[in-house]
Chain A
Amino acid sequence: DAKTTQPPSMDCAEGRAANLPCNHSTISGNEYVYWYRQIHSQGPQYIIHGLKNNETNEMASLIITEDRKSSTLILPHATLRDTAVYYCIVVPMEYGNKLVFGAGTILRVKS
């Protein structure tokens, strides 16, 4: 079972920042927060991950609260091509990191 809670859908205006929240209140100290997305019916795409510090890469930023019970994925300038289902997944560090996908958040970027 997924250990995260995400809103089912969100809308965002093109060019604006998209902020996607995720609750993971039962996360343990040895678990990472990973974000993936699936555009239409393509294969999922890795976006970013973090443990307790905020992270940024060329695609997005990840903000993790100090208590690690929630996080926010930020797409700084959303485009129409960012319309996708976004998955927040908690992954243990130890051996065997299968991904448990929940329902995710459908992000619709509108012009």
Chain B
Amino acid sequence: NAGVMQNPRHLVRRRGQEARLRCSPMKGHSHVYWYRQLPEEGLKFMVYLQKENIIDESGMPKERFSAEFPKEGPSILRIQQVVRGDSAAYFCASSPRTGREQYFGPGTRLTVT
């Protein structure tokens, strides 16, 4: 059973561009979580999604950030008009149902120049 997959692993964007980060959960997992780790800081929860639904977005910045988990295909974290402060590692995790352990992907490292 393949683990959580994230792509791209590294992404470089200029200020003002858009960044799209993709996450494919483990097979059979319908719950996806996104976390962000700023340089030299801890992991922070961003958003929790199930298929076609956002369950908890309490950690998402109010502007420029959005997430989706469509019925078919990977979950997408979208950052519009990126700024240097968005440079971070973005981790996706999946679980088979709520209340269970989460399995993390390798992360996408976003660098904004």
Write the residues of chain A forming the contact surface with B, with a CB cutoff of 8 angstroms.
34, 38, 41-46, 49, 91, 93-104
Write the residues of chain B forming the contact surface with A, with a CB cutoff of 8 angstroms.
4, 33, 35, 42-45, 48, 55-56, 58-59, 89, 91, 93, 95, 98-107
CB pair B91–A43 under 8 Å, yes or no, is: yes
Shortest distance from the beta carbon of B34 to any chain A beta carbon, whole Å:
10
Shortest distance from the beta carbon of B72 to any chain A beta carbon, whole Å:
24
CB pair A100–B107 under 8 Å, yes or no, is: no
CB neighbours (8 Å) of B91 from chain A are 43-44
Q: What total of A-B pairs shows CB separation below 8 Å? A: 58
Q: Tell me the nearest residue of chain A to B42, going by C-beta.
A: A101
Give complex CA distance A44, B45 in Å: 13
Q: Tell me the nearest residue of chain B to A101, going by C-beta.
A: B43
CB neighbours (8 Å) of B106 from chain A are 42-43
CB pair A46–B42 under 8 Å, yes or no, is: no
CB neighbours (8 Å) of B45 from chain A are 98-100
Q: A100-B45, A103-B42 are in contact. Are A95 and B104 (CB under 8 A)?
A: no
Give complex CA distance A45, B106 in Å: 10
Across the A-B interface, the 6 shortest Cβ-Cβ residue pairs? A43-B104, A101-B43, A98-B45, A46-B101, A44-B104, A101-B42
